[in-house]
Amino acid sequence: MALTIGVDIGGTKVAAGLVDEHGEIVAQTLRSTPADYPDQVAQTIAEVIKELAHGHQVEAVGLGAAGFVDETRSIVRFAPNLAWREEPLREKVAALVGLPVVVENDANAMAWAEARYGAGRGESHIVCVTVGTGIGGGIVLGGELYRGRWGMGAEMGHMQVVQRGRLCGCGNLGCWERYASGSALVEEARVIAAGEPRRAATLLEMAGGSPADIEGEEVTEAARAGDDAALSAFASIGHWLGQGMADMAAVLDPGCFILGGGVSRAADLFIDRVRESFTRALTGSGHRPVADIRLAELGASAGLVGAADLARRR
């Protein structure tokens, strides 16, 4: 049996799995990320690989990294939540473990796993939208992962959707993720709670009375309890998600969208709004097939499964 190892490296956790050719995880392990020290990150990655490889024939290793990965799939140019700057991650890890290594952007790895083994099975044109604190994404076209010329494609969270809009972490104004992510959800709820506290009675009670203390989990909980402000905040991100997906569809015409990430766990609170807004904004609506909007199926392990599969196909 040909096994590969996938490692998902985020700002707080390094999750690794030994994966077979059907995308099944045979064994897995987890460490915290020494995010401030690139050499220690490489050491930690090497440790989890050695731990999982012990007693197995391992063909290759795929690293899913939360950062901008170059087109040769070896260097992490920049990572917002780790100290990587022009980090030669592939060479470092390959030297430590003595196996072939490929590096992939983590959202690309997740998209690939969903395309192969998850919600996108059977589809060849897929846009995966990962909604967490921000928006990440991956694009599969004609059955292949689309990386762009420099490896920096599919950063869809930074499409500008509002002119002179909210300031984004990337330095631009009005990016999609400032209106359609987990942080946008919280911001929206705080604004409503501050301006119209009567609509946010349940939410404010949960947050201890202060709009500034409202957190994402509370917005979800309050929405489930029928809080008007929390429901409006979900409706707002649902609207913006659908709008952005319609823009993506205008360019890419995918067969399906896959919605993943932490915020998608509360999808029942906004998915109808996403579909409604998508259908309304879709160019040529009424005269074209409407792409399916599906929920991701593989959960938190998608990143490592995708990285392992990409290593197999290196």
- Tally of CB atoms within 10 A around 223: 25
Report if residue 300 touches Zn ion, rule: CB under 5 A. Answer: no
Quick one: which of 49, 139, 168, 259 contacts Zn ion (CB under 5 A)? Answer: 168
- Tally of CB atoms within 10 A around 147: 19
- Tally of CB atoms within 10 A around 168: 18
Report if residue 180 touches Zn ion, rule: CB under 5 A. Answer: no
Choice between 147 and 158, CB closer to Zn ion: 158
Choice between 202 and 243, CB closer to Zn ion: 243
Q: Report the DSSP beta bridge partners of residue 130.
A: 136, 260
Choice between 117 and 176, CB closer to Zn ion: 176
Quick one: which of 116, 147, 158, 275 contacts Zn ion (CB under 5 A)? Answer: 158
Quick one: which of 170, 194, 201, 252 contacts Zn ion (CB under 5 A)? Answer: 170
Quick one: which of 175, 180, 184, 204 contacts Zn ion (CB under 5 A)? Answer: 175
d(CA 267, CA 263): 7
**In this chain, which stretch among 14-22, 165-173, 205-213, 261-269 interacts with Zn ion, using CB under 5 A?**
165-173
DSSP 222-279: HHHTT-HHHHHHHHHHHHHHHHHHHHHHHHH--SEEEEESGGGGGGGGTHHHHHHHHH
Closest contact distance (angstroms) between CB of 138 and Zn ion is: 17
Closest contact distance (angstroms) between CB of 172 and Zn ion is: 5
Report if residue 135 touches Zn ion, rule: CB under 5 A. Answer: no
Q: Which residue has the tokens 């399906």?
A: 256
d(CA 139, CA 108): 7
Binding mask 52-71 vs Zn ion (x if CB under 5 A, - otherwise)? --------------------
d(CA 13, CA 299): 15
**In this chain, which stretch among 59-67, 140-148, 157-165, 202-210 interacts with Zn ion, using CB under 5 A?**
157-165
Report if residue 281 touches Zn ion, rule: CB under 5 A. Answer: no
Q: What are phi and psi of 160, to 5 degrees?
A: -85, 120
Tokens of 235: 């409706």
Choice between 179 and 257, CB closer to Zn ion: 179
Q: List residues binding Zn ion (CB under 5 A).
A: 158, 168, 170, 172, 175
